[in-house]
Amino acid sequence: MGLLTQLALGYHTKIITSRENMSLFIQPLLERLNDTRRKVLKHLVSGHPMKTIPDTSGISQRYAEKVLIDVRKEFGNISTNELIYILGMVHIHEHL
């Protein structure tokens, strides 16, 4: 088990903590996002409530919520809070 722990820590140090390597890791995700999904995710990680998205992005709240549901399903039907956590861990706001 010691070797497995060392390998996991090495991976984490190399990929997760390096911004350059992390951007390569999340690039396939970003390529699959259309403009609407990018706007919704950017709004979500900014911390603003979804009801203000029409003012900032020109997308209706109802449509943005449907887009968010689709994204959550693609991530394994996770909650919005789990999605925000994951997106925060990979610093997605720097790439949107």
Burial of 80 (0-12, 13-18, 19+ CB in 10 A): middle
Residue 30 has pLDDT above 90, yes or no: no
Share of the chain above pLDDT 90, in %: 57
Looking at the whole model, is its pTM more than 0.85?
no
Residue 27 has pLDDT above 90, yes or no: no
Mean pLDDT of 56-65: 96
Q: Which amino acid, residue 95? A: H
Mean pLDDT of 64-88: 94
